[in-house]
Amino acid sequence: MAEEAIIRFDQVTKQYDDDTIVLNNVSFEIERGKFYTLLGPSGCGKTTILRLIAGFTEASKGDIYFNGKRMNNVPANERQVNTVFQDYALFPHLNVYENVAFGLRIKKMKKAEIDRRVNEALRFVNLSGYESREITEMSGGQRQRVAIARAIVNEPEVILLDEPLSALDLKLRTEMQYELRDLQKRLGITFIFVTHDQEEALAMSDEIFVINEGRIQQSGTPTDIYDEPINRFVADFIGESNIVPGKMIRDFEVEFAGKRFECVDQGLNQNEPVEVVIRPEDLEITTWSEGKIQVKVASQLFRGVHYEMLCYDESKNEWLVHSTKKATVGDEIGLNFGPEAIHVMRLGETEEEFDKRLEAYQGAGYGK
């Protein structure tokens, strides 16, 4: 192992009562100094993972390690972790300085040290000069930064951020995405960020864990997850996808929409039923006779940068197309795509099995 993981979950299960399993046998490693995102729909278990890391709740089964030491029973205040909550949980009756200093005063730190740390934390989030402002006089984005300053002032090894941007409007949210990402790089502290917004996750993260129904569906870099989704859930949740049923004829040849196509996937069985993913932006529109598949345009919307068309082939598969070219509703057109635009998913494959197959496939000189 290159460097010891800063946090490790080993087969962690969390059950609040007898029948509902909230996290099911979850294992992962968090490396030092990276920006991680837990991404998944509401109720999938994201906050529960943060609460387990912070020590606000206990695992029902499995072990949680911090720098190699088991910490299942270590109380929250002894963990090198700070949380930024969705509603920021700032004290409205205290000014900016006192909000950031609060935890240090509780720890009975010396006044000069408190001063040094608070000033440095405020400088990091660009709030120097705002020390005596009341929280109630701060904008949403500024409150967000106070909440972050309050987390970094403790000099933790890990900062947990639970959907911290979801209350902000779109423009401010985008600004804060840049700010947070930049802050994480400057601080070099490990961030574990929670969101249900896939675009946010793709834009900000070094590593994403895609979670559904209490299980990690897939983990990897944004491009890994976007280009090589492991299953229908991930393909659907991350970006827009066309997912059609197909059959693997042999290595590098797959059948769907009633035809056979060259692809770059291998390591599946001959004639194995599969699901085929093609991203809407990887489909090119052309004439009926020149297309690899033939479709009828059912509807079209102008999306600002591209046209979005919904088309159907003769097998009644739906094809979403993003194109800078315009089509006409009702027209019969052709769609073209290269072998590398086709992504074949094995039904019910686990992440481990998928990784093995992908390694073999990249070893053969494809992908990457």
Residue 51 half-sphere exposure toward CB, CA atoms < 13 A: 12
Q: What is the DSSP letter of 288?
A: T
- 201 part of the interface to ligand ADP, by CB under 6 A: no
* Tokens found for residue 296: 């009828």
Contact between 173 and ligand ADP by CB under 6 A: the answer reads no
Interface residue with ligand ADP among 6, 45, 81, 146 (CB under 6 A) is 45
> Does 44 interact with ligand ADP (rule: CB under 6 A)?
yes
Instruction: Please report whether residue 117 would count as binding ligand ADP according to CB under 6 A.
Output: no
CA angle 221, 223, 228 (to 5 degrees): 100
Buried b (16+ CB within 10 A) or exposed e, 294-309: bbebeebeeeeebbeb
Options 46-54, 88-96, 148-156, 230-238: segment touching ligand ADP (CB under 6 A)? 46-54
Alpha helices, DSSP H, located in the chain: 46-54, 96-106, 111-124, 140-152, 170-187, 198-204, 222-227, 232-237, 351-363
Q: How far is the CB of 38 from ligand ADP (least distance, A)?
A: 8
Q: Provide, rounded to whole angstroms, the least separation between the CB of residue 161 and ligand ADP.
A: 12
- Rounded to 5 degrees, φ, ψ at 114 are -60, -45
C-beta of 43 vs 129, nearer to ligand ADP:
43
What phi and psi, each to the nearest 5 degrees, are found at residue 111? -60, -40
Q: How far is the CB of 207 from ligand ADP (least distance, A)?
A: 18
Q: Please, which residues have CB within 8 angstroms of residue 148's CB and are 6 or more apart in sequence?
A: 84, 125, 159, 164, 180, 183
Binding site for Mg ion (CB under 5 A): 47
60 lies in the binding site for ligand ADP (CB under 6 A)? no
Residue 25 C-beta: closest distance to Mg ion, Å: 20
Residue 68 interacting entry, from ligand ADP, Mg ion, none, C-beta within 5 to 8 Å by type:
none
Q: By C-beta, is 51 or 279 nearer to ligand ADP?
A: 51
In 3-state terms, what secondary structure has residue 180?
A: helix
- Find out whether 284 and 322 touch, Cβ atoms under 8 Å: no
142 versus 166: smaller Cβ distance to ligand ADP: 166
Instruction: CB nearer to ligand ADP: give 58 or 175.
Output: 58
- In the sheet with 69-70, reading across from the earlier edge strand, the strands are 21-30, 7-15, 61-66, 69-70
**Least distance from C-beta 165 to ligand ADP, angstroms?**
15
Q: How many residues of this chain interact with ligand ADP, rule: CB under 6 A?
A: 10
| Least distance in angstroms from the C-beta of 277 to ligand ADP | 25
User: What token pair was written down for 237?
Assistant: 């949740």
Residue 40 CB, nearest approach to ligand ADP (Å): 6
Among 42, 73, 132, 289, binds ligand ADP (CB under 6 A): 42
- Which 11-30 residues touch ligand ADP, going by CB under 6 A? 16, 22
Q: Considering beta carbons, is residue 22 or 295 the nearer one to ligand ADP?
A: 22
Which two tokens mark 107? 């720890």
User: 77 Cβ partners below 8 Å, 6+ apart?
Assistant: none
Separation of alpha carbons 102 and 115, rounded Å: 12
Question: Shortest Cβ distance from residue 44 to ligand ADP (Å)?
Answer: 4
What residue 48 binds from Mg ion, ligand ADP, none (CB within 5 to 8 A, per partner kind)?
A: ligand ADP
Answer with the entry of ligand ADP, Mg ion, none that 43 interacts with (C-beta below 5 to 8 A by kind): ligand ADP
Rounded Cα distance between 134 and 153, Å, is 19
Q: Write out the residues near ligand ADP by the rule CB under 6 A.
A: 16, 22, 40, 42-48
